[in-house]
Amino acid sequence: MNKELLGVKEQYEQLNAEKEILNNQLEKRPVDLDEEQDKQILRENLAILTSQYAQLNEANRAWQEFHQTQLANFRTKVQNCIEIEDDFSFDQIAQEIVDQITKEREDFTEQYQVLKKTNNDLQSGNLS
């Protein structure tokens, strides 16, 4: 999801840069009757780029809202199982879950070894 967001952001930045270039070209060119057609094409391109910029900007906002909603939903689902900070990302939450599972597995293994030893001791005592 972050890669898609970065892709949209890169497109947004590229279109913004193209818009600036076209604006600069329009401002620097001398007014010449022979170049009127070129200026019209530049204006049309600028209008298209401005429209695309607005669309990408809106898509970017929608994506960010979706991402925040998904993160909030995920956080709500796991908050009773694991303690997580409010500013954790998906990756950080996933790492916390892995760490918690690893710790619980280690605790379980340790308890199992103690019980196994106790069981062996009890069986040894019962057999004597």
DSSP 8-state code for residue 82? S
Same domain, 62 and 8: yes
Same domain, 59 and 112: no
Give this prediction's pTM: 0.49
Q: Which of 36, 59, 78 is the last residue of a domain?
A: 78
As to burial, measured by CB atoms within 10 angstroms (0-12 exposed, 13-18 middle, 19+ buried), residue 105 is exposed
Same domain, 14 and 55: yes
Contact 83, 28 (CB under 8 A): no
Look at the chain and report how many structural domains it folds into. Answer: 2
pLDDT tens-digit series, residues 52-110: 999 999 999 999 999 889 888 888 888 888 888 888 888 888 898 899 899 999 999 99
pLDDT tens-digit series, residues 117-127: 999 988 887 65
Same domain, 74 and 99: no
Same domain, 7 and 56: yes
> Chain-centre distance of CA 23, in angstroms?
33
As to burial, measured by CB atoms within 10 angstroms (0-12 exposed, 13-18 middle, 19+ buried), residue 49 is buried
Same domain, 32 and 59: yes
For 14, the domain range is: 1-78
